Amino acid sequence: MIKNDKLFNISEASKILGLTINKNGKPSNHILRFWEKQFKQIKPTILNNRRYYGRKDLEVLKLIKFLLKNQNLTTKGVKKILDDKINTLDDYKSSSIKTLYYKNLIKTKTNLILSKLKKIKNKNGKKNTH
């Protein structure tokens, strides 16, 4: 994975994670603050009393959201999974729930790449009628 030092403020992180309260898209920052208190793996950088999340934090937050929202786990269950030292599909002790998250992540990225390739193919495959 390429190291990227870009930081996102709490509102940007909420939007990236799709945590919005209402139709106008106001970010649900309170959810991230709650998760910070619950999960020791989330360690935002604090600058001028403002939270900033790096790529690593966002990946942990995405996993937490998946486990809570998609797998309907409790915070206690998510803590247990996060405390396991399992971080990849290659780990032979990989929990099935974490494996589902990584499979879903790979599937999403693969579909995005395929979509981009189809657009390129369609763009380059069209005959010039001029």
User: What does the angle CA 15 – CA 18 – CA 23 come to, to the nearest 5 degrees?
Assistant: 85
Statement to judge: residues 115 and 94 lie in one domain: yes
Residue 103 burial (CB count, 10 A): 11
Statement to judge: residues 20 and 63 lie in one domain: yes
Statement to judge: residues 67 and 108 lie in one domain: no
* Residue 130 forms part of a structural domain: no
* Residue 66 forms part of a structural domain: yes
Statement to judge: residues 74 and 89 lie in one domain: no
Lowest-confidence pick of 15-29, 35-49, 54-68, 107-121: 15-29
User: What does the angle CA 103 – CA 13 – CA 49 come to, to the nearest 5 degrees?
Assistant: 140
Over the Cα atoms of the chain, what is R_g?
A: 18
Statement to judge: residues 48 and 94 lie in one domain: no
Statement to judge: residues 63 and 94 lie in one domain: no
What residue type is assigned to position 97 of the chain?
I
Give yes or no for residue 2 having a pLDDT over 50.
no
Q: Give the confidence band of 89 by pLDDT, cuts at 50, 70, 90.
A: very low
Alpha carbon distance 81, 67 (integer Å) = 9
Statement to judge: residues 79 and 99 lie in one domain: no
Q: What is the pLDDT of residues 37-80, one digit of tens each?
A: 999 999 999 999 999 999 999 999 999 999 999 888 999 988 98
Number of structural domains found in the chain: 2
Statement to judge: residues 109 and 76 lie in one domain: no
How long, in residues, is the chain? Answer: 130
Q: Give the confidence band of 127 by pLDDT, cuts at 50, 70, 90.
A: low
* Residue 129 forms part of a structural domain: no
Supply the DSSP symbol for 49: T
User: Which residue segment(s) compose the domain that 39 sits in?
Assistant: 1-83
Residue 6 burial (CB count, 10 A): 10
Residue 111, phi-psi category: left (phi > 0), alpha (psi -120 to 50), beta (remainder): alpha
